[in-house]
Amino acid sequence: MGIAESTPDELPSDAEEQLRSGEQQLELSGRRLRRLPSAVCALSRLQKLYVSGTGLRELPEEIEELRELRILALDFNKLERLPDGLCRLPRLTRLYLGGNRLLALPADFAQLQSLRCLWIEGNFLRRFPRPLLRLVALQSLQMGDNRLRALPAELPRMTGLRGLWLYGNRFEEFPPALLRMGRLHILDLDRNRLGGFPDLHPLRALRVFSYDHNPVTGPPRVADTVFLVGEGAVERMAERDEPMPRPPPRRPARAFEDEEEEDLLIGGGGSRALGAPPG
């Protein structure tokens, strides 16, 4: 049986039943949609919208009418750009954009001042999007599997950031700006081209550092409270006077919106646990 395809401007047949539950949530994931039905943008009270893996190629500017939206999942589609209207969602806290074809973010993206969790992994970003530097409340930033080679010196402006995933990029040197991110809990630099590390003791809040699959000969110098993942990590942690810390999850699975962000970062007991993605 093929994936059901709705007409371009209509809601799918089961949408009314979904909305009747009172949760103001609409699940369209897995359907065949080249563009978002215009009727969706008329649901002004909608709070959660899931449109993952539909083949979506564009979003209408009218998406800005969803002023109550908190959660927006657009991952695993074919989006090459985002409309400015998406940047005018004042209550949006979680945005999932992974697995698309994005080269950049709109300049107005910085207007998303309520955003706490952004997943934009698996796109074609060659430069760190500068509008992100103004999102001081952002706590979780997933940018793995892009094409980044450097990070801006202004990165420490993102004072709310606690988890930063940069695996699968093209870093050849450890970005100096990271040494001034003293509030980071999780830093993932797997699968880059790093040949060495500076002393990471300035990252006083760090709990997990992953550097696997880089051309390094050993682990960096870190506090004894940091769990390491990479070449020589087990041996280094075994030398510590303190007991080896319990391994926290390194990669978050997409979390339910009712979990606290701290749970996202350290593996608290939410409905979707953190962990490495399959495959």
pLDDT in single tens digits along all 279 residues of the chain = 344 444 556 777 777 777 776 679 999 999 888 889 888 999 999 999 999 999 999 999 999 999 999 999 999 999 999 999 999 999 999 999 999 999 999 999 999 999 999 999 999 999 999 999 999 999 999 999 999 999 999 999 999 999 999 999 999 999 999 999 999 999 999 999 999 999 999 999 999 999 999 999 889 999 999 999 998 888 888 888 666 666 656 566 665 444 444 444 443 333 222 333 333
What pLDDT was estimated at residue 252?
64
What pLDDT was estimated at residue 258?
47
Between CA 160 and CA 183 the distance in angstroms is 8
- The Cβ-side half-sphere exposure at 22, using a 13 Å CA radius, reads 0
Six-digit token pair at 57?
Answer: 């190629």
Between CA 90 and CA 276 the distance in angstroms is 31
Q: Which of 113, 119, 109 is nearest to 86 (CA)?
A: 109
Q: Which of 93, 52, 39, 90 is nearest to 68 (CA)?
A: 90
Between CA 224 and CA 207 the distance in angstroms is 10
The pTM for the full model equals 0.86
